[in-house]
Amino acid sequence: MIRATTGGVMLNYRRNLMNSFIGMSNAHNTILTQRNFNSYAEDPASAAKAFKLRKSRMSVETQYTICGDTFHKYETAFASLQSIDEVLDTKTSEHMKTLSGTTLTELNDPTGDARQQLTKVLDQMSEMLVQNLNQKYGENFIFAGADGHNVPFEIKNNQLYYRGVSVDAAEPEVVTNFGTTNKVTADNGDYIPASAATINQAAFDALDPAEQGEYVHYQVVTENGQEDRYVLASDTISEDDYNTAKTEADKLKYLANEKYFVDIGLGFQENENGQLIESSGFNASLVGINFFGYGKDEDGDPKNIYSIVQKLKDISARVHDGENWTNEDYDEFFRLTGKLETASSKFKTEFTDMAAGTDKLENNLELLENNYDNLVEQYGDMEDADMVESITSFIWAQYCYNAALKVGNSVLSQSLMDYLS
Amino acid sequence: MSTIGTFDGFTAARLGIYAAQQGLQVTGNNISNINTSGYTRQRLDQVSLKTGGADMYRSMMDNHIGNGTLVTSINQIRDPYLDIRYRNTASEVGYSDTMLRGLKGIASILDEVAKGDNKDGLLYAQIKDLADCLSRLGSDPCKDNDTLARKSAEALCSLFNTYAGKLETLYQNTKTGFKQDLTSVNEILTNIRNLNESIRNAEICGDKALELRDERNRQIDSLSEYMQIKVEYTMEDIGAGKQIEKLTISLGNANPDSKVHTDETVLIDGVYGAQLSMPEKKPLPNPKATDDGFLYLKRKLDQDGNEVFDVNGNPVYEGTNKLSEAEQIDNDNYTLVVSRLYDSKHHQPKDPTVNEGHPVALDDNDLYGALQATRELLTEKGEFSTAADVALDENATIKRGILYYQKSLDLLAQKFAEQYNKLNQGYIFNQEGNCIDADGNELMLAGIDGVEAPVNVKSGLTELQKQNLIANGFIQKDIHGNPVLDKDGNQIADINSWLEGHGGVLAQGSGVLFSNRNDGDKTGDPTDPTNPLISASNISVSHSWSTGDVKVVPTCEVLFSEDGTPLPNTTQVENVNHMISLIEQSLVYDPKELDPDAVGSKLFVGCFNDMFSNMSTVEGNDERSTNIELNDSYTTLTDVDTNRMGVSGVDLNDEAMNMITFQKAYSAACRLMTVIDSVLDRLINNTGITV
């Protein structure tokens, strides 16, 4: 600069004073807002990242709520199942409070004095088990799979129904040609149950004509080749009945595997077909029939605990107080007691699996809490001002501003004019 | 020895006194104006006076002595180079400052840093709140949770509407500001023209009109903040051998396109000045208009009356000055027109070469300064620019004004509504995932090979089914009916359009969740002006959703419905889960979906929140860089101004020195007069007298 003028110096001073004031104001704002930035423009990258972290935190908050709700639902379910488990328990000393104890008492009762009472106990216990599985959490039925707004279990005519489907529904086993799944139809168009008694041509020919009229002919391919056989017409099953039974069995099978997923922070993502990747959600569906059993086993006996107990009850009800078992009844009762143990064992397995699910939810809650804390800390590190640094900066800015003011006072007051006399 | 004039000494003393007195006056004037804006330091011009020449009796032994000093003029001290630098920098400051103010206006609406509960933002947090409500609905699809989701959606729509309204207000305010700026520019141009006239008249009379020049410089400085200008001073012959200074101001050649010359249009030519205006209808950019007025643009039609396109598919325009109302195109590019030059009596210059005597419609980039910044805020659309915009400015796609943010917000709202409406209008499928008709029968779709298979939503369509759909025109289309392409540029099969005509059944309670008015369920029709597409300004929760006729469809799955009574699945939420996933789903935001003529193909890829955040990030980056430019140019401007003051400004020390100098000179001249008087007294009264 060749020449410094009063106006030029003042302009410079004004600009620098303003810069100094802006600096102090910014430092002041940082302390007041306790934030490193208050707009995207101040730090676009950090602002965008901080919002992403905040979004994650908001997701975690929701996931925590959902996970917490699901956990509480599982806790309630756990309590219900624990009550059932106690009723099924074979180890407790209070035999009359357990199903196994009651059945054992019945089996080992030499006089049969309390048989009718025990029958009632069995009936009440089975109903209590069903009531436990109709428990609600909030407004929803816990063990209803994906139909939480409706009562899942219903007893009609001593038959237990799950969501309107008999728990004992099973696809009838019918005769098929050897090596294939092709069902064999009798001459009347019906299917032949695999358990039905059938006779061959020779046996049929030996029957008198009146008896022959009760049979219906069918052809089947066995391992020995094609055979002509006969079955009682009353034993066959019509195609419609077969299809109805199969549909009911299919429904049970579907309902047993029914799932619905909630987002508890496992990723919750869909594949290219728009379907949820199952591992990214939590299956919150608790299906009552998985605990209680459904369908029939290879002996044609129900697998459902209620149905087994009802059968036991029916056998027990046939024998009056003080009477002895018939051998058949005793054997049947004994056999079904074994089935009950099997079903109870299955229940315990499912119960254990559910308990593991509860643990998973509890652990997940803890993880979400940690995740929440981490996220808050992460965006806090970006957004929140370091107060020590901020106050230091402010004091420095204030010092500079004061110095600028002081300099200004001397700059503006001094000139040659002041020394003229 | 030369001849000595008896009273020459008095003349020298008198001139000395006179010069010193004038010097003191100039010094006083300088000191008085030390705080006057635009004042230029004045200086006394003195020359040594020598009278006479060589006379016939002149001897070589003679010594010539001057006769004192003469004050020839009072001059201003200015550096033209610093003026040029100042004015160029002022246009940069004007541009950055105006742009920054506009961007800050946008940021005040869209920037949600440290806003909202827990400082999570407003619209940003509301999108997540809807996700939260959907998650609650997912964990329990009851009516209460559906209502919660609807209330959250209503709040989100309200925020979209508010933001769109604020952006529109900002746009209108900026437009008003632009018109006010134009008025200010025209006032400045008029002032300069009038000052030129006054200065000219003064100069003819021999006055330098320094104060008028100061005012003119001040006006030119102000003009340079609005637009980049070029200032030239030439000498004009006014006859009788007299020349006076003439000022010419033209646009500063700001257009980077060297073929464009409208950026050198003359605004002021001596006593003639132009005015800027913004016609309502689009003027023809080039060539210059005829005397009848401006030529306007209209779409060129072929012999059959069809619109003509060039080889690049851009519409072709032609000029006309007879345009019907219907044919006129709105001047949505805010094209400015420089009028013919007129003097204060509304006479045109005799010389028709200036601007060829015509008004000039300016090109898109002819201006640089505050006016251009406002124009860009009003017109630039970034990735939403059309081919016509790019033809005007090849950098159009990277310039983003208010329109860009309005359109981005509209695109976000449109996409949001479109996606959720689509999800809430799903077709039912059975427990196997196969789409079914009203009787529960599975719908069969043939592949391109003719083999039929169920339409399974879980595993998706087979490749052959997709090919068949595409071959038969069942393809995904955007809202304007244009095919949507995948990342490889292939058409995408649309099963929903097939299901619609082949027995597919919409899920119970399905329908649109969002509409363009909350008293209806319309989502807009691009061909119907009374039924606008969903945008940020009109997005609403649909009437049917608000009345409960439509709800968030929890699932499209219908279990075992063959016998007429499906198994209930009241808490199955597969469809809600789609909606929850959608919040985090990465979507392509294509400007063409909003404006089919847009040249940009991919504005952003990401989820709804990220798209909104991206708008603020883009704005933040622009604001940041503009702020840096402003600081840089302002620092330069202050430096140049300080330098300019170093030359032209008044300094008290300087003036104090001048004051002392002139005071001493004045005293000395007075003393000289006393001495000469004494000498002459001796010569006249006391010489040759004997006492």
Q: How far is B634 from chain A (nearest CA, A)?
A: 10
Q: Which of B130, B567, B650 is the mutation pick for testing A, counting most A CBs within 10 A?
A: B567
User: CA separation (Å) from B277 to A274, B356, B630?
Assistant: 56, 18, 28
Q: How far apart are CA B535 and CA B282, in angstroms?
A: 27
Give the best residue of A15, A39, A289 to mutate against chain B (max B CB count within 10 A). A39
Contact B571 A139 (CB under 8 A): no
Q: Taking residues B141-149, report their average pLDDT.
A: 91
Q: What is the DSSP letter of B560?
A: S
Suggest the residue from B37, B82, B129, B135 to mutate for an interface test with chain A (most A CBs closer than 10 A): B135
**Alpha-carbon distances, residue B76 vs B33, B80, B216, B475 (angstroms):** 13, 12, 13, 77
Per the CB < 8 Å rule, is B656 touching A415?
yes
pLDDT of residue B292: 45
Q: Residue B261 has what pLDDT?
A: 84
**A67: which chain B residues are within 8 Å (Cβ-Cβ)?**
none
Share of chain B above pLDDT 70, in %: 92
Instruction: Give the mean pLDDT of B146-161.
Output: 96
pLDDT of residue A64: 95
CA-derived radius of gyration, chain A? 40
Query: Out of A277-281, B287-291, B305-309, which region has the weakest mean confidence (pLDDT)?
Result: B287-291
Quick: pLDDT tens for B196-222.
999 999 999 888 899 999 999 999 999
- A58 and B113 within 8 Å at the Cβ level: the answer is no
Assess whether pLDDT exceeds 60 at residue A402.
yes
Contacts of B140 (CB under 8 A, 6+ apart): A138, A139, A140, A148, B571
Cα distance from B418 to chain A (closest Cα, Å)? Answer: 16
Q: Compute the nearest-CA separation of B33 from chain A (Å).
A: 11
Collect all residues with Cβ–Cβ distance below 8 Å to B651 and sequence separation of at least 6.
Answer: A3, A4, A5, A6, A7, A8
d(CA A142, CA A84): 14
Q: Which residue has the higher pLDDT, B690 or A416?
A: A416
- Helix (H) or strand (E) segment spanning residue A76: helix A44-88
Q: What is the pLDDT of residues B541-570, one digit of tens each?
A: 999 999 999 999 999 999 998 877 899 999
A198 has which bridge partners? A231
Spell A239-266 as b/e; 16+ CB within 10 A means b: eeebeebebbbebbbbbbebbbbbbbbb
Model confidence over B402-446: pLDDT tens digits? 999 999 999 999 999 999 999 999 999 999 999 999 999 999 999
What's the mean pLDDT when you consider all of chain B?
89
Query: If you write DSSP's letter for every residue of B569-630 in order, what string do you get?
Result: -TT--HHHHHHHHHHH--EEE-HHHH-TTB--S-SEEE-HHHHHHHHHHHHHHHHHHHHHHH
Residues B402 and B171: beta-carbon distance below 8 Å = yes
Burial class (CB within 10 angstroms; exposed 0-12, middle 13-18, buried 19+) of B487: exposed
Interface test with B, best of A2, A6, A166, A269 (most B CBs within 10 A): A6
Interchain CB distance below 8 Å, A165 and B131: no
Q: Which residues of A touch B134 (CB under 8 A)?
A: none
CA nearest A265: which of A102, A19, A61? A61
Q: Residue B585's closest chain A neighbor by CA?
A: A269
Nearest-by-Cβ selection for A69 from B139, B578, B581 = B139
Its ipTM equals 0.87
DSSP label of B355 = G
pLDDT at residue number B480:
83
Provide the pLDDT for residue A409: 77
Q: Band of the pLDDT at B93, cuts 50, 70, 90? A: very high
State how far residue A220 is from chain B, nearest Cα, in angstroms: 32
| Helices and strands of chain A, counted as H and E runs | 11, 10
Nearest-neighbour CA in chain B from A126: distance (Å): 25
Decide if A52 and B460 are in contact by the 8 Å CB cutoff.
no
**A175 to chain B, minimum CA–CA distance in Å?**
26
Q: In terms of DSSP bridges, do strands B337-338 and A225-232 run parallel, antiparallel, or are they unpaired?
A: unpaired
CB A51 within 8 A of CB B119: no
Is there a contact between B440 and B430 (Cβ–Cβ < 8 Å)? Answer: yes
Instruction: Calculate the dihedral angle through the C-alpha atoms of B390, B395, B396, B399, rounding to the nearest 10 degrees.
Output: 180
Q: How many CB atoms lie within 10 A of CB B143?
A: 9
What tens digit of pLDDT does each residue of A38-49 get? 999 999 999 999
* Shortest alpha-carbon distance between residue B492 and chain A (Å): 13
Cα–Cα distance measured from residue A417 to residue B1, given in angstroms and rounded to the nearest whole number = 47
**Across the interface, do B619 and A41 touch by the CB < 8 Å criterion?**
yes
Residues in chain B within 8 Å Cβ distance of A144: 571
- Give the tokens for residue B41: 């330091």
Judge: B624–A42 Cβ closer than 8 Å, yes or no: yes
**What residues of A are in contact with residue B140 (Cβ under 8 Å)?**
138-140, 148
Q: How far is CA B111 from CA A384, B127, B164, B567, B612, in A?
A: 18, 15, 14, 50, 10
How far is A131 from A155, CA to CA, in rounded Å?
Answer: 10
Enumerate the H helices of B119-209 as residue ranges: 123-139, 143-204
pLDDT digits over B569-615, tens only?
999 999 999 999 999 999 989 999 899 889 987 889 999 999 999 99
C-beta atoms of A7 and B638 within 8 A: no
